[in-house]
Amino acid sequence: MTVTMPNSLDLNGRPQDTRIVVAMSGGVDSSVTAALLKSEGYDVVGITLQLYDHGVATHRKGACCAGQDIHDARNVAERIGIPHYVLDYEDRFRESVIDNFAASYVSGETPVPCIECNRTVKFRDLLKTARELGAAALATGHYVASRRMADGSRALFCAADSDRDQSYFLFATTREQLDYLRFPLGDMTKPQARELARRFDLAVADKHDSQDICFVPTGRYTDIIGRLRPNAIEPGDIVDLEGRVIGRHRGIVHFTVGQRRGLGIASSAPLYVVRLDAESRRVVVGPREALRMDRIVLRDVNWIGDGALDRAIGEGLEIFVRVRSTRAPQPAWLRAAGRGYEVELVAGEEAVSPGQACAFYDAASGQARVLGGGFIQSATAKNATPGAMWPLVEAMRG
C-alpha cells in the first residue's frame, strides 16, 4: 500500500499535483507567498481583487488595493510564471465592507473594516472561488500561523514576528475556513520575507507596506461617510460626565473613544472622549481615568478554541484579550451573560471602543493560540457611581 505523505502545506499529494490559489494584493508579502509556493513546485494561481473604484488612490503612497497594486501583482505573476486573474468584487466589497463601515461610524462606533473584509470578501467569497477553481487551499500573505491539532483540525496562532502579527484582524475566521486556508509567512519575520523577495528578483521587494484603509483615498474617512450618508453627519453638544454642555461639535463621526486632540474645548485639565451617543448626538468627555473600563459586552462572538464555546467557558474561562490591534493581550475572564457573552478585564483597559474587536488568546505573548473573539458592543467600569451606571461607552445600533 502506498502511503502519501503531507507536503509542505500539510496537504496530501505532491506539490505539482496540488493547485493553490494565492490572494495577491500587489504587496511584498503576498508576492513572496506566491513565489515561494511556485518554487516548491505547486500549481499556483494568482488572484487579485478589484475592490473599489480606486480613482485618486492609484498613485497614493500608503494606500492598498489601488490600481498600481493590481499592476504590481500582474508583473509578479508574469515574473514567476503563474496564471493571474483580476476579479471584480466591487459590489460585494461595497455591500459587505464600505456600507457597514459608514453605518458603524454613524451609530457611534469605531469599526475595523479589515476584519469585515477578511471574514466576508476574502475568506467567504474568494475562498468559494478558489474551491470552484479546483484548488486544494487558499494561501495568503498574512502574518499568522495555522497548525494541525491532534484531532486533525487546524488552529490559528500568532505570527513569529510579533511586530507584524495580524491575528487580531483574523479572529472571525471560522474552523471551516481554517481547514482550507494556509499562511506560509506565519513563521517568518518581515526582513526574511523581503530577503526572499530579492532572491526571487521581485520588483516589489522594497515596496512600502499599505497603512491606510484602502477605500479612503484621501485619508479622511469622514469623506466616505459624508458621501454615503450625507444626512447623518449632524452637529450636537459636547458634554461632561454630568451632562453639562461645554461645547458643540460638527458630527460624532469626527470623534472616537479615547480621542484627546481636536475637541475644540478650552480646559484646565486634559479631556478625552469617553462616550459617543448617536441617538442624542452627544460627545461625552471626561478625564483620562474615566476611560478605564473593566467589563465588555460582546456581539457576534466567534469561537475557534477546543470544543463548544459554552462548555469551554463553564463558570468562567481565563483567557487573554486584545481590544486594539496595537495593544498587547491582557488577562481577562470570559463568561456567558444572558443570551450573549462578556469579558471581565483583570486590570482594566483604557479607551475600549464599540465596533472594535476583542480577540481571544491562550497566552499573553509568543505564538499564542487564537481562540476567537467578538465585536465590542459596550463597556462599563466597576466603580461607576449609581448616577453613572449607564455605560460610559455604548454602541448605539438601531
Q: Looking at the annotation, which residues are catalytic?
A: 117, 214
Q: Which of 51, 42, 122 is nearest to 82 (CA)?
A: 42
Whether the CA torsion 40, 46, 51, 56 is positive or negative: it is positive
178 phi, psi to nearest 5 deg: -60, -35
Residue type, 310: D
Closest by alpha carbon to 380, among 365, 391, 388, 366? Answer: 391
Backbone angles phi, psi at 331, to 5 degrees: -65, 145
Helices (H), the chain: 28-39, 67-80, 90-93, 99-106, 113-116, 127-132, 175-180, 190-199, 221-228, 309-313
Gap between the Cα atoms of 336 and 298, Å rounded: 10
CA gap 327, 317 in Å, rounded:
21
Query: How far is it, in rounded angstroms, from Cα 359 to Cα 118?
Result: 15
CB 256 within 8 A of CB 291: no
Place of cell 477553481: 133
Q: Which three cell numbers stand for residue 335?
A: 463568561
DSSP per position, 88-126: E-HHHHIIIIIHHHHHHHHTT----HHHHIIIIIIIIII
Angle at 209 between CA 176 and CA 72, to 5 degrees: 85
Helix axes 28-39, 190-199, angle to 10 degrees: 60
Residue 333's closest CA among 284, 384, 295? 295
